[in-house]
Chain A
Amino acid sequence: MYNAMLAENVTIHGYGGGPVQAYAARPMTPGPVGGVVMIHHIMGLDRMSAEFTRSLAIGGYNAVMPNLYHRDAPDASPDDAMAAMRAAGKLPLPDEQLVGEVAGAVGYLRGLSNSNGKVGVIGHCSGGRQAFLAAVSLKLDAAVDCWGGFVVGDAPEGHPLHGWRPLVERTGELSCPLLGLFGNDDSAPSPAHVDELEAALKQHGKTYEFHRYDGAGHAFMNVDRPAYRPEAALDAWQRIWAWFGKYLTL
Chain B
Amino acid sequence: MCTYLTERISVTGSGKGPSGWFKVTDASVYFDHPVHAPAEHTLNIDFLDPGAGPSARVAVELTADSARALVKAIQATLDSVPPGLV
Contacts and interface: CB of A to CB of B under 8 A. Distances in A.
B74 interface: no
A217 B39 CA distance: 13
B1 A83 contact: no
B28 interface: yes
Nearest to B1: A188
Interface stretch (A88-96, A97-105, A132-140, A173-181): A88-96
Interface in A118-162: 125-126, 149, 158-161
A42 interface: yes
Contact of B4 (A43, A87, A92): A92
Contacts of A77: 54-55
A219 B1 CA distance: 9
Describe A's contact surface by its main secondary structure.
Answer: loop
A127 to B, nearest CB: 10
A76 interface: yes
B50 A84 contact: yes
A186 interface: yes
Per DSSP, chain B at the interface is loop
B54 A160 contact: no
Interface residues of B, number: 24
Nearest to A222: B33
B5 A158 contact: yes
Contacts of A202: none
A113 interface: no
A9 interface: no
A29 interface: no
Given A42-B33, A92-B4, A160-B4, A76 B55 contact: yes
Contacts of B48: 83-84, 87
B70 interface: no
Given A83-B54, A87-B46, A159-B5, 15 more contacts: A41-B2, A42-B2, A43-B35, A73-B54, A76-B53, A76-B54, A77-B55, A83-B46, A86-B46, A149-B2, A159-B3, A187-B1, A188-B1, A218-B40, A226-B40
